[in-house]
Each structure stands twice: as structure tokens, then as C-alpha cells.
Amino acid sequence: MPRKDGGRKANARPERDSGEGARSHAIWSGTITFGLVSLPVDLFSAHRAATISLRMVDEDGTPLRRQYYCPREDRALTKDEIVRGYEIGDDEYVVVTDEELEAIAPEKSREIDLRRFVAVDEIDPMYFERAYFLAPATESTKAYRLLAEAMEREGRAGIATFVMRGKEYLVALLSEGGILRAETLRFQEELRTPEDVGLPKLGEAPARRVTELTKAIESRKSKDFDRDDLSDPSVARIHALVKKKLGSRKDVVKAAKLPDEPESTAEVIDLMKILKERLQGRDDSKTSRRKGDDGDGLENESKQALYERAQALDIAGRSQMSKRELIEAIREAQ
């Protein structure tokens, strides 16, 4: 089992043209089940990695690697020397082995167990954690369309559980525009209450001031939510800076390729195009094939492309893995 790691991929480059799409791969495949209904689906992340991030390099542009360091022995540690510990007090830990964690991990399953349906507005947005798109995994889309339409018409969300990468998730299945989406939900113990934060109890607000503020809110009311408000201005500023430096070739360095990092040949595909083609009963994307055997194409991908897959799969310890380790971890996670 890979170690948990905070490393992240990051080359600062101008954002891709929106028409080109995002690098997307099905990160999980399984079946939605409830009653007599069995619906094969593929899971795609609905999030992109940060549109701008900066990678640590040396003066010559060579990407740097992170290592775990032991301050007591004043040296970097190898992978085999690192174990996990649960902190129970100051400088005291209970060591937990990979084998022990695997023994208590939930049983592997390829089912999204749909337990019940609730009104969408009954789910507090605080519980939403991460969004995924669900696409039909077969050419037959009738069951998918029926479920999506019925849920959207009734304003219902399905509450389900499924296992991915050795962890059991609680999810809300939502339907919007004929496309199913899975939102992983935070567990109750993960949320804080106002009392936990220490917020004081507030008295009643003066009625006159409430009326004044109500009028101010009304004067600024907008019919539609402007998605442009969600754009990150810092991304545009960094893009402009990078573009300016590229134009003058100032501070542009090119490092020699490391032996295990050939040029990337990973295919760039459009996630929404995949979803539309699936719903139309077509599947022209190479990435739609079932993964997990020697025909999955992983052997032919660059280490950087494999790292990006591992990042999308949230595989811990990916930044310190070799190309072979990345391939094995991706196959295990899918």
C-alpha cells in the first residue's frame, strides 16, 4: 500500500484552449444497483487539477523530488524504512502496518449500492465534498436515461455507498440535464458546529436594520448566477506573466530529460464529448476500454502522464514512485 504523500504535479503553462478539453480517464468502473435495476457505469472526475501550479526546479530547470527526512539521524530515508504511526500523545505512536490496514479495509466491490432516495434540497451543501460524472459503460443507455430523467423530474437524490481504492464512500447521486453525477459526502463527524468553533449566541437584530439590509439585498438581486464570478483572477495574472516571459525568452530554461521520463504521448480528450457519445450509444474514445490487463495502454504512456493519472485517482505516495510502481498502483486503483 503506497504511503500518503503531499506531492503534486505542477508545470506552470498557459491554460489549454477550452475547445481542447481536459485530460480525462475513467477512474472507476462498476454498477449502480437497486432492486432489479443493474446499471453499468464509468466514473470520471468532475474536477480538473489546479489550472496553475508551480513546480519546484533547480536553476537549470531540473524537476526536484521530495524525500522523507529523519532529523534524529540527519539523513533521507528510503521507502522501506518508513512506516505509519497513529499519534496517541506527545512523541508516542501506535505503529500500524500495511498488512493490518489491508486486513480491515472494506471488501472490494464494483457496485454502487443505491439505498434510498431523498429530496435534493434535504442535503445540506456542507456535506458535499467532491463531484464525479457517471457515464453509461455500455452501448445500451435506456436504463441510464430512465433513471436520470426520473430523478431529475422528481427532484430526488439517491444515497448510495461504494468502495474505491480500498475506502468506502457515501455518495449522493444527482441528475442534471440528463447526466448523472456522484457527489461524495462528508461524514457527520467531519463537520464542525458553530459551538465547536466557539461562536457566541447572537441576540435579535433590530427590525429597522433588517429592513434596510433586505432592501439593499433586493437592489443587488440577480436572476441568474454568473459562473464568471468563479474564475480565479490569480490564474489569469500568472498566465500573463508566463506569456510575457515566453515572448522575451526571459528565464526560460529547458532541463535534460531524466532517463525514466520520456516525452509525453498521452491523449488529450474532452470529458463532455465522452459523456455525449456514451449517451448517443457511441464510444469512440480509447480511454473507454476496460482497464486492468496488458491491453490498457499504460505501458506506452510517459511517467508524467502516469503521474497525472495517479493524481486524478488520488493515489498516495505517487511523487516517489517509479514508472513501474505507478502502473501497478493505477491498475490496482481502477
- At 60, which CATH number? 2.40.290.10
Q: Is residue 261 a part of any domain in this protein?
A: yes
So what's the pLDDT on residue 21? 38
Mean pLDDT of 184-195: 90
Exposed, middle or buried by CB within 10 Å (0-12, 13-18, 19+), for 148? buried
Q: Is residue 87 a part of any domain in this protein?
A: no
Q: Is residue 248 a part of any domain in this protein?
A: no
Q: Is residue 231 a part of any domain in this protein?
A: no
Q: Is residue 170 a part of any domain in this protein?
A: yes
So what's the pLDDT on residue 221? 84
Cell of 321: 514512485
Mean pLDDT of 144-156: 94
So what's the pLDDT on residue 131? 93
Range of the domain at 133: 18-67+97-190+253-333
Provide the sign of the torsion angle of the four alpha carbons 51, 56, 60, 65, taken in this order: negative
Q: Is residue 257 a part of any domain in this protein?
A: yes
So what's the pLDDT on residue 261? 52
Q: What is the pLDDT of residues 272-294, one digit of tens each?
A: 777 777 777 654 444 444 444 44
So what's the pLDDT on residue 7? 36
Q: Is residue 274 a part of any domain in this protein?
A: yes
77-81, 269-273, 314-318: lowest mean pLDDT where? 269-273
So what's the pLDDT on residue 334? 65
Q: Say how many domains are in the chain.
A: 1
Nearest CA to 149 among 183, 180, 117, 104? 180
Exposed, middle or buried by CB within 10 Å (0-12, 13-18, 19+), for 135? buried
Q: What is the pLDDT of residues 12-43, one digit of tens each?
A: 333 333 333 344 578 889 999 988 788 999 99
Q: Is residue 218 a part of any domain in this protein?
A: no
Question: Are the CB atoms for 56 and 63 separated by under 8 Å?
Answer: yes
Q: What is the pLDDT of residues 219-272, one digit of tens each?
A: 888 877 777 777 777 777 888 888 888 888 888 878 766 665 544 444 445 677
Cell of 234: 490569480
8-12, 132-136, 147-151: lowest mean pLDDT where? 8-12
Size of the chain, expressed as the number of residues it contains: 334
Tell me the C-alpha to C-alpha distance, in Å, between residue 57 and each of 5, 66, 94, 270: 19, 11, 36, 30
